[in-house]
Chains A and B, each alone.
Chain A
Amino acid sequence: MFHLRIIAMAVRGLQQNLLRSLLATLGVVIGVGAVVSAVSILEGAQRDILGKFESLGADQVIMLNGTRQHGHRRSSVTSLEPEDADKVLQDNEGLIVAVSPQYGSAGQVKYYEKNAFVSVLGVVETYSEINQYFQVHGRGITREDVRGNAMVCVLGHGVAEDLFGALPAIGKPVKINGKTFIVVGVMEERGVMGFTNVDDQVTIPLSTAMRRMFGQKYLSVLVAQCVSAEKMTSCVEACKKSLRAAHRIRAGDEDDFTVFTQEQMKQQFAQVAMIFGIVLYSIAGISIVVGAIGIMNIMLVSVTERTREIGVRIAVGARRFDILKQFLVEASIISMFGGALGVVCGWAMSDFLSKFTQVLETYTPPSIIVIAMIMAGIVGIVSGIYPAIRASRLDPVQALRYE
Chain B
Amino acid sequence: MIRAEQLHKHYQMGDSVVHALDGVDLSIKQGEFVAIIGASGSGKSTLMHLIGCLDRPTSGLLEINGELVSAMTEKQLAAARNSYLGFVFQTFNLINRTSALENVLVPLVYTRRAVQRATAKKALDRVGLLSRASHTPSEMSGGECQRVAIARAIVNSPRLLLADEPTGNLDTKTGDQIMQIFHELHAEGITIVLVTHEMDVAVQADRIISMRDGQIVEDTAVDQAQREQILIDAQSSFRKVFDQKAAARAKANDTDAHPKPEAAS
Q: CB within 8 Å of B: which residues of A?
A: 1-2, 5-6, 9, 12, 16, 308-309, 311-320, 322, 395-397, 400
Contacts and interface: CB of A to CB of B under 8 A. Distances in A.
B54 A316 contact: no
A315 B78 CA distance: 8
B143 interface: no
A311 B89 CA distance: 11
Given A312-B93, A316-B107, A317-B81, A12 B112 contact: no
B75 A313 contact: no
B78 A318 contact: yes
A343 to B, nearest CB: 30
Interface of B: 49, 52, 54-55, 74-75, 78-79, 81-83, 87, 89, 93-98, 102, 106-107, 109-112, 114-115, 152-153, 156
Contacts of B96: 16, 309
B54 A319 contact: no
B97 A316 contact: no
B109 to A, nearest CB: 5
B164 to A, nearest CB: 9
B136 to A, nearest CB: 10
A123 to B, nearest CB: 78
Contacts, number: 67
B91 to A, nearest CB: 8
B111 A317 contact: yes
Contacts of B97: 16
A317 B55 contact: no
Contacts of B49: 397
Nearest to A16: B97
Contacts of A320: 74
17 contacts: A1-B114, A2-B109, A2-B112, A308-B93, A309-B95, A311-B93, A314-B54, A314-B81, A315-B52, A315-B54, A316-B152, A317-B83, A317-B110, A317-B111, A319-B110, A396-B55, A397-B49
Residue from the set B49, B82, B109, B153 with the largest chain A CB neighbour count within 10 Å:
B109
B157 to A, nearest CB: 13
Given A12-B102, A397-B54, A319 B93 contact: no
B89 A400 contact: yes
A329 to B, nearest CB: 13
B150 to A, nearest CB: 13
A9 B74 CA distance: 23
Contacts of B102: 12
